[in-house]
Amino acid sequence: MQTHSKVVLITGASSGIGRAAARHLAELGYRVYGTSRGACPDTGGVTMLQMDVTDADAVSAGIQTILAREGRLDVVVNNAGFGYGGAVEETSIDEARATFETNVFGVLRVCRAALPVMRAQGAGIIVNVSSIGGLMGMPFQGLYAASKFAVEGLTETLRMEVKAFGIDVVLLEPGDIRTDFTARRRTTAEAAASDIYREQYARTLDKIAADEQGGADPQVAAKTLARILASRRPRLRYTTGPVYQKLAVFVKRIVPHALFEWVLMQNFAMKR
């Protein structure tokens, strides 16, 4: 086992990628604090804190708890997130706002609370968990994709702004990872009640769910995170997950959009 003195905060660590990453880093010797919206017992060498990233006071209190115990904060992993399924037309403003409150503003709240600590230390690393869905639109996951696109832009900007303070900011972009995210996906209220997109939505969501549950083990993302933290000069983006999805990210940059869109629609069983 490697031994580290670094203190790590991982949001959304009660399940999925967050839990796998927290346990893996703890095994490597990092002092790991995980968060969840509800009370969650310490597990696998990870100290769990109840912290809702949509509540600025709760975020501040969580970080202050870590500082009181450890005296520093070296790594922040913004992993907490969720998504709705449903057509863009059938996503309400309230549902869109709830998605952004967690996936975007939650990231912002945690960064705002952690950055003064890291600036005072003259060092730190922030890893924002985005998604391959932050690089390409996904049918019936429009607001989730929009939130991850926003995280991409926020991270690119923040990385430039804080580099002079010795702070690195990195994007981790998972493809399909086998977690309970599939079971926890909510359907928008209008999509559940409407027939407009029902047949296509059901067909596409079946494909999405099958891809997710046939995806990579969360440990793959956890090991990628460990590699990021071990790097002396981490790059901006780290894409992880099934090989064909990582290839799709590359292909999108080089082929005409019409061709890429056709392939994507074929993959998701979309009518043209």
What's the CA gap between 52 and 66, in Å, rounded? 15
Exactly one of 144, 197, 201, 238 is catalytic; which is it? 144
For the question of residue 148 being annotated catalytic, the response is: yes
For the question of residue 14 being annotated catalytic, the response is: yes
For the question of residue 147 being annotated catalytic, the response is: no
Exactly one of 36, 130, 131, 147 is catalytic; which is it? 130
Q: Which stretches does DSSP call E strand in the chain? A: 7-10, 31-36, 47-50, 75-78, 84-85, 124-129, 167-174, 186-187, 237-240
Are 216 and 241 in contact by the 8 Å Cβ rule? The answer is yes
- Distance between first and last Cα of the chain: 53
Exactly one of 14, 36, 131, 147 is catalytic; which is it? 14
What's the CA gap between 62 and 235, in Å, rounded? 28
Exactly one of 36, 148, 201, 238 is catalytic; which is it? 148
Are 191 and 199 in contact by the 8 Å Cβ rule? The answer is no
Are 138 and 116 in contact by the 8 Å Cβ rule? The answer is no
For the question of residue 238 being annotated catalytic, the response is: no
User: Which residues are annotated as catalytic?
Assistant: 14, 130, 144, 148
